[in-house]
A = this chain, B = another copy of it.
Amino acid sequence: MKINRNYQNLEESYLFSTIAGKVAAFQKEHPEADVIRMGIGDVTLPLCEKAADAFARAAKEQGQEKTFHGYGPEQGYEFLREAIREYYAGFGVRVKAGDIFVSDGAKSDLGNILDLFDADNTVLIPDPVYPVYLDTNVMAGRRIWFLDANASNGFLPMPPEGQEADLIYLCSPNNPTGAVYDRAQLKEWVDFANRQGAVILFDAAYESFIDGGAFPRSIYEIEGAETCAIEFCSLSKLASFTGTRCGYTVVPEALCREGMSLRKMWLRRQTTKFNGVSYPVQRAAQAALLPEGMAQCRAHLEVYRESARVITETLSAIGIWHIGGIHSPYVWMQCPHGMTSWDFFADLLEKTGVVGTPGSGFGRNGEGYFRLTAFGRPDATREAMERIRRAYGNAE
């Protein structure tokens, strides 16, 4: 019996448990302190009314013999794949319903998609970035090449010419930096991938925060992407589905490698190792994506956008360098006074009671930076930024 020894190469991730521990210690020492959490990547607004109603209605259907739904299609019900197709069409992107695969979330698909690829591949991963890209490839023993994201490239690394590349992770709008690739930049990536025969794994989980047409919401807005890119998306941030669980992955029919259709391989993977998403969850997702539900979702997104504005305007007013927060719920700020990420974490908590996420937790290049999120309650966010203004107003 041989276990998968690659697991021994995983670094233990203590980021969020370390944060929780430090906050608990602080609260014990300062029981009177009003702690405001701006570190979380979870939403605080609920499902929109249309989605919650459809969800409860379909749950009741499951209790009646005449309306009961048993095993559904592994790829997702036609009604939801059609709604997703329409959602894409709403911002001008044509995606075939047959290329859409409904799942319980982007995180599952981002991990499971790697089944389709050999361990003997080179993977390009931005640094800093969502830790799942790295860990899932370490688990499979693939070669990793980090794409340095830093202030000099606006935290948007571009193709490293001459570098071998088989799988390329892009996350735009980015977690944790909030940086967003523009059309010309993504075109460079698509051309690079097509030249190399690489596959781009495009994480579009935050696409709904993009406001206006200058920045692509989907990799398929870029010519040539259908032959080199798989797109992952989620209703988590778009429609508050973090605890309801529904996402989708697009694998275009035109995407082949070594003579095999990746769409066909993914279908085989999903029909073998997955049994579809809960029927009532799919009904809730459909309701969120239809026009009335979508209008309600947009109102929620506007609340987060306003919070992001409050964050960025405060940081600008006190002269702290930052990016993100415009087409993104994440604001990526430089730690004042040249502090390390963890020093600033402690300093901020001590001085203001505000909790954020140390940038170094997302990769080597995150050191000296800090992530704030706009997902908190608006009044709390406003209060937190007022405290930060008072504490660091003379920072620079």
Residues of A at under 8 Å CB distance from B?
Answer: 1-5, 7-8, 10, 42-49, 51-53, 55-60, 62-65, 67-72, 104-105, 107-108, 110-112, 115-118, 120-121, 132, 135-136, 139, 166-167, 196-199, 240, 242-245, 257-258, 260, 262, 265, 268-269, 272-281, 284
Contacts and interface: CB of A to CB of B under 8 A. Distances in A.
Given A1-B197, A118-B5, A244-B279, A63 B52 contact: yes
Contact of A104 (B4, B58, B68, B275): B275
A306 B45 CA distance: 48
Given A107-B274, A273-B136, A68 B243 contact: yes
B7 A280 contact: no
A315 B262 CA distance: 46
Contact of A280 (B71, B108, B120, B244): B244
A105 B70 CA distance: 13
A59 B62 contact: no
A199 B105 CA distance: 30
Contacts of A258: 1-3, 5
Nearest to A103: B104
Contact of A3 (B56, B59, B265): B265
9 tightest Cβ-Cβ pairs between the two chains A and B: A52-B63, A111-B273, A2-B118, A55-B59, A46-B68, A42-B70, A69-B243, A56-B59, A70-B242
A2 B120 contact: yes
Nearest to A279: B243
Most buried by B among A4, A45, A112: A4
Nearest to A245: B278
Nearest to A10: B268
B1 A260 contact: no
Contacts of A167: 1
A154 B3 CA distance: 33
Nearest to A265: B7
B68 A245 contact: no
A46 B58 CA distance: 12
A8 B259 CA distance: 11
A45 to B, nearest CB: 6
A116 B55 contact: no
A328 to B, nearest CB: 19
Contacts of A63: 46-49, 51-53, 55-56
Nearest to A50: B63
Given A5-B118, A118-B3, A46 B64 contact: yes
Contacts of A52: 59-60, 62-64
User: Could you say which of A60, A67, A167 has the most chain B C-beta atoms within 10 Å of its C-beta?
Assistant: A60
A199 B1 contact: yes
Contact of A139 (B62, B108, B272): B272
A262 B2 CA distance: 12
B42 A272 contact: no
